[in-house]
Structure 1
Amino acid sequence: MKKYFAYDALEREFTTHDTLEEAKSQAQDYVDHTFDIGADNGFGDDLEDGIKETCFGVALGGFDLPTRSLTKEEEDIYGDQYTYMVENPVLVEYPQNNGWIKCSERLPERAERVLVLDDDMSCYFAALKFEGNRKYWELECYDQNIGYGVNVSFDEILYWRPELDLPQD
């Protein structure tokens, strides 16, 4: 399931991607191409709109096209012409993580304070740190042997999300 998209507003075409970074890069390529056309030929409203309306994001759903094997009756009718039958399209809503981002898909900026979930689904404030080639998470929690600033293995954190805004009165 490719749940990220890039939209080329000039050509009115969508492409789907496995990661947000791929979608972002494709959208940038679309904008660069449109800008190059304008640089060579001048910018009209269509090119300006094509740049301003090109976007990328997360697809909330899509469609599946289920197939099934031929029945004996259909095999008799169609012979070797078909190997399966196509069923009606089915709407598929992709699971949403309510703002949580898989670490395998994208990481926060270095030292950015974020919320993280570990492999036990415990939640902490943390920052991603680098020490040479080593990546680790510095958690803002208390450990009786260490105090605050507990470091955990990079692989133990599965999800992260930007720090939530506190209520304003």
Structure 2
Amino acid sequence: KFLLGGLLGFALAVPAGIMQADVGLNRVLHNTQWIIGPHVHVAILVGLTMTLYAAIYLLLPILTNGAKLYSQKLANLHFWLHLFGGIGMGAFMGMAGLKGMLRRTLYFNGEYDLYMILALVCGALLLIAFLLFFINIVMTVGLEGLIGIFKPVKNKNKDLVPAE
């Protein structure tokens, strides 16, 4: 499911990038929120991270000697919050860009506040989704297992030690 979400993210971001390559549209959209919203944020926050989440969920039982995921419900909630949060954030930033909101510019007149507040809400969904993912992973491997990642292991098996 996460891999399909990642593919959807790339499927939405690539046409936005192709549109930016058009000289006429680039004259209008260049240096606006459109560039970083629908193209960059959707490609990275949805396309790339959903693909990475898919890999983590796939490799988790392999790397933890068959540990069963703590909660499938948390993983499903993580998926939907991340998908809607990432696509929503990119969409609202894109709408602001289409209205002319430049990036790296402060606006004090409230002209784009609605778009940015909605993008902020979607960004909060992304944060909540990540926290659900983190909790699910920690509960799966346990706190001791998580801390154990950073502790050196004393190897008692001499077969694995290089010859002296």
When the two structures are superposed, what TM-score results if normalisation uses the length of structure 1?
Answer: 0.28
Highest relative contact order (Cα 8 Å, sep 6+), 1 or 2? Answer: 2
More helix by share: 2
When the two structures are superposed, what TM-score results if normalisation uses the length of structure 2?
Answer: 0.28
